Amino acid sequence: MGKTRLQAELACWKPVPTTIPAEWAMWIEELARETVGSPRPAHAYVLNVIRYDAREVGKLLQNWGLPWQVVAAGYLRIYDEELIKRRQLLDRERVMSHFKESLLYSRSIEEEQLGPLLSLPHRDLGALLIAVAIHYQSLVQLSKSEQRPGDDQKRRPRIESTGRILLHICTHLGMWSLKRKVEDVLEYLLRYKEYKEYEERYNHILNRDQSKLEAIQRKLIAHYQQMVGQPITIEMITCGVAGLKRRETQVYTSVVNKVKLTGFDLVVFHIIVPSVKDCYLAFGALNFLGTIQDRVADQIAAPKPNGYSLLAYNLILDGQQPYWHDLEWLRQECVSCALQIATVPMLAVIYYGCLYPECYRLYTTEATPTNTSAWLPEGAQFWNSTIGRAFYAIHHAILTNTTHISEHHARPVVVYDKLHNPLSLARGATVLDFAYEMGPQVGNYTASAYVNNRRVPLYRELDAGDVVEIITDKEVRVQDDWLEGKYAITEKALVNLRALLTAQLHRYRGYILIVRELERYHCTLSTEELDEELLWLVKRYDLGTRQGYLENFRMGSDAPYTPEWAALQIIKRREALNTFQSSIEVWIPRAVNEKQHLPMRLCNICQPGYPQEIVGCRRRSKFIVVHSLLCPCIRRVGGKGPTRYVPMEWVFSDSTLRVAFVVYAQDRQGLIHDITKRLLACPGLLLGMNARSVNKWRNAEIWLVVEVPDDQGALIVWNRLLAVDGVVRVNIDTEATLKVVAQRLERLQSNSSADENHVESGTWHSRNENSDSGLEQRNRVLKNPYDISRPATAKMFVGRGKEMGRLKMELCDAEYGKAILLYGPRRSGKTSLCRNFLERYVMPPHWYTFYSLQNVVGWADELVLRRIADEIARSFSCCFHLAPPVLDWSDQKDMYTIFREFVQQCTRQAPASRFILVLDEFGGALDSYQNGRLSSHFFDLWRQLMDDCPQLSLLIALPTRAHTMLTSNDFANVFSFAQSMPVSFLDQESAGQLLVHPLREQHVRLAPQALSYMMHLTGGNPYYLSLLGLQLIFYLNVETEKNYVVAEDIEYVVRDIIGAQSTQNFIFYSRELQDSKEATILEAIVELTEMNKRETVTVKQLASFLTLSPLDIRSRLERLRNGLILDEYISKKGSLNPYYAFKIELVRRWMARNRWFFNYR
């Protein structure tokens, strides 16, 4: 019996699945059912477009055995944060904390920020594991799709990046089991065909050698028991498909070079013993069966920082020993077994890392020097322990990173070369640093490297005791990404890399061609500036390294591998950054005191220029010709008819357009002369010209770069070029001109082509500030500033100046505190208004408390008052840094008196301040009153409180329907002390600001028709404006080339909203209606508008459809209009038959599609 129990204790440890509290589990299931098919927030999507499976993520976290709060946060991470806040469940704050922190960790994974992910101690280990589970599950989800994601070149870099980050985290936290799974998934996604071939070989080798492996396993167990007399467990763990590829690149797969791999190359024998002493005992006992290959890695005496602790070595079995006589095949084969000896906790830390409960507590407990001794066993305690120094290594790593980060990085680590000669390097040094430490001749020619007999990348960080072998080549192997990809950290390596890369880069023919092309455009850059521009270019367009890009320059190559393309991209970027500016100032003539703007042109004879004194000659009110004062034309024009002289002045133009033209013409003598002569009379400057002639066809191609003051100046140049004799056509060079500028000029030219003279005589003046200026190229993935899950932040809060001013005047600036009832439809921005008012205008010594009554339905009076009082106490303490008054609910006084006295004591302790109490979602209290849970005394309390506390200002926010009830006969006297303040929707200017500015910041422009259409759909409702903006960003992240949004795009987004089962975005309207009759009226309006294909109906049409008189429905229509559900339009015939339409057209369209709404109550 004792042996059986001991053998069971020596089994491999596996995590115990977590049990979630019943109330949380029920709510998670309920939430999943209610939100099926509904839109998700932006953080629900990873790898740009994949929405991960929240249920699978939750199951994975549950199977990892993490605390239930972490598991619950993992299940809920796909939903809006507000949903969790509204639910009053056990330990909600900890779940919320994991939720929020996991968002930050996910962002770090997507942006490849390794600092927050790998720095010890972690702010929230549970949140980090949630982010890891989400991204791992997304990769698994991709691997199950029919389409091969690795074949998508746009998504492939994202997959590689995510996989690389996950591997770093798994190594850092010691999660080798998950690491191997990630490796296999990455191989499957990125190299599918190769993976399938390796998988077939992998299964074939294991199936072929399964019997041999099991035989060796039994013989090892029997030998140990025979020598030591104690039970032992040996388990075989396979390396995975990715491990098979590693084995093929390993230096010593066996003693001799093998033609093919065997099952012993794919399996590690884990020998599990009870204690540290037994590890060394097993090591000695098993060595009798063969000889040790290479060396022994003793990580028990010196564990790695992640707790990796074991004895590892390769044992070459001696098949000639008598002990192996029953295994005939072993005499012909030379077998090398990979053995790893450890205890059960050691093995658990190796394969599961921080998932092991003791290890998880160690990572999440503050490390202090005082508790170091608890993790460091000494003497016999160490000899008989089951974990050795593994926990001490983790504790020491956390403590060192916490208190001595700079000192930690300064300490050297000692590694060894192939001959076991020691070499000291800075902590964090890589394999490439090791190579350069041996000398530049080794580092520059490094081709590959092996660490501990395994092939590793050159950026692999070295640990103490590593054995490093560098493989060199005959040619220099230095690449650009060695410097850019953080392959090295030591100064010696970085200096050598920079010097060699700079020397190599300047020898490429492509480099010289780009320099020449830039000089053709009069752009001269220093060597350092051009190196930086090339680095930006290859990163911006994913062209690999600078070396690889320049090597691809060939005769006849297409863009981007041409010097013309590279030079133009560099010029455009430098123009956008205002680092490449023309050294010549642009001055344009302007008429002094001339009210009528007339077209101008320069005199063809004198060609005046700044700073010459000028005068204008105006004839027959057609145009003005600008002359210098000494121009002979002034005397000649005097006798040709009525001429009026106009005083002129030069004006500096600080906003210019740079446009490149391509002119196609029949080659002839004097062509360039005629073109330049034409351009002399045009506004602006000629910056450069380049031409070539095709002798076979006698065609000419001329490239021009001009700088003009505005669009009209560019069109004048365009038409002047077309007027030159022999010119066939003139096009804008889109490669050298900003895309939006080129499109705008082409559109203007096509519109004015029917009247060339009109273009020629277009008004010449500085550009209007409101004209469409050139937009930079947008990012492929736009950030989504719109959020319907929480109140609007200050940046997204617009158009409430009047309401904010009134609240400040009444609640803050008045001599005594006042009360205001802030009412409006649900989701009309009441909470955002309250929040932003408090943050913007309530400053010390004033203080405030914000409390939402949304979830008080079913609560009794005492519980509600307790929660409000707790929030007041917290706010008081945070604002004044004083202890709040003691609140004793066990007193004999009634609860209302206790609450009033508590508020009075708070205000007395801060006599010079104003206390603003905001009760949001007050409709929840009214619902609880209707359900019989709240008493009427709760509503009487607030009048008494206002009388007792002159310093108190009260702001109550509630829906329109609740406000109607509050002002009815039942409560008329109760709240007569409070002023009513309605909340309307945004005006057109504010709504436009909410839509246009966030998109413009990301270089996306809304067409005027699209903006008008969005206003028409939403009626200025900020919630639906944000919903449209949110879905529009999702749409633009799919259409990555679109930077100009038209009405058709908005229509596509609207169809997606209405068709996505977005019930939660509209169903709340059922609570805005007073009774079923109002629902019947709305249903009739929807039916009539669908029948008539019009958005409005008259009162008579509606009454006829309902078989009622107009007087019967007018009162309800008026109530719906006051509730901002309907809008009224007075017809030309008078007010007896007004028109009615939905205030929000989007709501009408949704109701037309979802007729079940009218029966839903």
- Domain boundary residue, one of 383, 407, 431: 407
Supply the pLDDT for residue 849: 93
> pLDDT digit string (tens) for 186-212?
888 888 888 888 888 889 899 999 999
Supply the pLDDT for residue 576: 60
- Domain boundary residue, one of 1039, 1060, 1081: 1060
Supply the pLDDT for residue 850: 93
Work out the pLDDT band at 484, boundaries 50, 70, 90.
Answer: low
Same domain for 214 and 341, yes or no, is yes
In a domain, 197, yes or no: no
Mean pLDDT, residues 26-53:
73
Burial class (CB within 10 angstroms; exposed 0-12, middle 13-18, buried 19+) of 890: exposed
Residue 582: is its pLDDT beyond 50? no
For Cα atoms 847, 848, 851, give the angle at the middle one, nearest 5 degrees.
165
Q: What is the domain-level CATH number for residue 1141? A: 1.10.10.10
Q: Starting from the edge strand earliest in sequence, which strands make up the sheet with 290-298, in order?
A: 233-238, 267-273, 336-343, 311-317, 290-298
Supply the pLDDT for residue 152: 58
pTM for the whole structure: 0.42
In a domain, 815, yes or no: yes
In a domain, 224, yes or no: yes
DSSP E strand stretches across 1005-1067:
1005-1006, 1044-1045
Mean pLDDT lowest for which of 427-431, 691-695, 852-856, 1035-1039? Answer: 691-695
Work out the pLDDT band at 1131, boundaries 50, 70, 90.
Answer: low
Q: What is the domain-level CATH number for residue 364? A: 3.30.460.10
In percent, the amount of the chain with pLDDT more than 90 equals 10
Q: What is the domain-level CATH number for residue 960? A: 3.40.50.300
Mean pLDDT lowest for which of 42-56, 351-365, 906-920? Answer: 42-56
Supply the pLDDT for residue 915: 92
Residue 508: is its pLDDT beyond 70? no
Residue-range definition of the domain harbouring residue 1141: 1067-1159
Residue 404: is its pLDDT beyond 50? no
Same domain for 637 and 521, yes or no, is no
CA neighbor of 1038 nearest in space, from 1054, 1027, 1049, 1024: 1049
Mean pLDDT, residues 935-942:
87
In a domain, 337, yes or no: yes
- Domain boundary residue, one of 379, 407, 435: 407
Same domain for 1054 and 1085, yes or no, is no
Supply the pLDDT for residue 688: 77
Mean pLDDT, residues 550-564:
73
Work out the pLDDT band at 758, boundaries 50, 70, 90.
Answer: very low
Same domain for 37 and 180, yes or no, is yes
Same domain for 1042 and 1085, yes or no, is no
| C-alpha–C-alpha distance, residues 271 and 949, integer Å | 75
Measured between its terminal Cα atoms, the distance across the chain in Å is 67
> pLDDT digit string (tens) for 1002-1025?
888 888 888 888 888 998 889 889
CA neighbor of 872 nearest in space, from 944, 809, 949: 949
Same domain for 605 and 642, yes or no, is yes
Highest mean pLDDT among 391-405, 445-459, 606-620: 445-459
The answer to whether 700 and 671 are in contact (CB under 8 A) is yes
Same domain for 615 and 630, yes or no, is yes
In a domain, 787, yes or no: no
Q: How many CA atoms lie within 13 A of 234 on its CB side?
A: 22
Rounded alpha-carbon distances, angstroms, from residue 832 to 791, 827, 840, 1017: 5, 10, 12, 22
> pLDDT digit string (tens) for 254-303?
434 455 788 888 899 999 998 989 899 999 999 888 888 877 888 888 88
Q: Starting from the edge strand earliest in sequence, which strands make up the sheet with 727-732, in order?
A: 685-694, 699-708, 657-666, 727-732
> pLDDT digit string (tens) for 1059-1107?
766 778 888 888 888 788 888 899 899 998 888 888 888 888 888 888 8
| C-alpha–C-alpha distance, residues 100 and 69, integer Å | 13
Residue 760: is its pLDDT beyond 70? no
Q: What is the domain-level CATH number for residue 478? A: 3.10.20.30
Question: Around Cβ 875, how many Cβ atoms within 10 Å?
Answer: 19
Work out the pLDDT band at 781, boundaries 50, 70, 90.
Answer: confident
Q: Based on DSSP, count helices (H) and strands (E) in the chain, helices before strands.
A: 47, 31
pLDDT higher at 1065 or 131 = 131
CA neighbor of 525 nearest in space, from 661, 707, 684, 536: 536
Same domain for 813 and 948, yes or no, is yes
Question: Around Cβ 206, how many Cβ atoms within 10 Å?
Answer: 17
| C-alpha–C-alpha distance, residues 199 and 244, integer Å | 9
Q: In this structure, what token pair is assigned to residue 327?
A: 């295994």
Residue 685: is its pLDDT beyond 60? yes
In a domain, 203, yes or no: no
In a domain, 776, yes or no: no
Residue 578: is its pLDDT beyond 60? no
Q: What is the sign of the dihedral through the CA atoms of 784, 785, 788 and 790?
A: positive
| C-alpha–C-alpha distance, residues 1007 and 1015, integer Å | 13
Same domain for 822 and 970, yes or no, is yes
Q: What is the domain-level CATH number for residue 1007? A: 1.10.8
Mean pLDDT, residues 356-374:
75
The answer to whether 766 and 651 are in contact (CB under 8 A) is yes
pLDDT higher at 695 or 1093 = 1093
> pLDDT digit string (tens) for 634-653?
755 444 455 678 888 887 66
Mean pLDDT, residues 10-21:
88
Number of domains in the chain: 9
**Average of per-residue pLDDT values in the chain:** 81
Supply the pLDDT for residue 750: 76
Work out the pLDDT band at 460, boundaries 50, 70, 90.
Answer: confident
Same domain for 496 and 514, yes or no, is no
Question: Around Cβ 49, how many Cβ atoms within 10 Å?
Answer: 13
Mean pLDDT, residues 842-867:
86
Supply the pLDDT for residue 234: 92
Supply the pLDDT for residue 770: 35
Work out the pLDDT band at 972, boundaries 50, 70, 90.
Answer: low
Mean pLDDT, residues 683-704:
75
Same domain for 891 and 933, yes or no, is yes
Supply the pLDDT for residue 581: 42
Work out the pLDDT band at 2, boundaries 50, 70, 90.
Answer: very low
In a domain, 829, yes or no: yes
Any idea what DSSP says for residue 265? Answer: G
Mean pLDDT, residues 475-489:
75
Same domain for 1030 and 1080, yes or no, is no
Mean pLDDT lowest for which of 43-57, 413-427, 726-740, 936-950? Answer: 43-57
Residue 334: is its pLDDT beyond 60? yes
Work out the pLDDT band at 510, boundaries 50, 70, 90.
Answer: confident
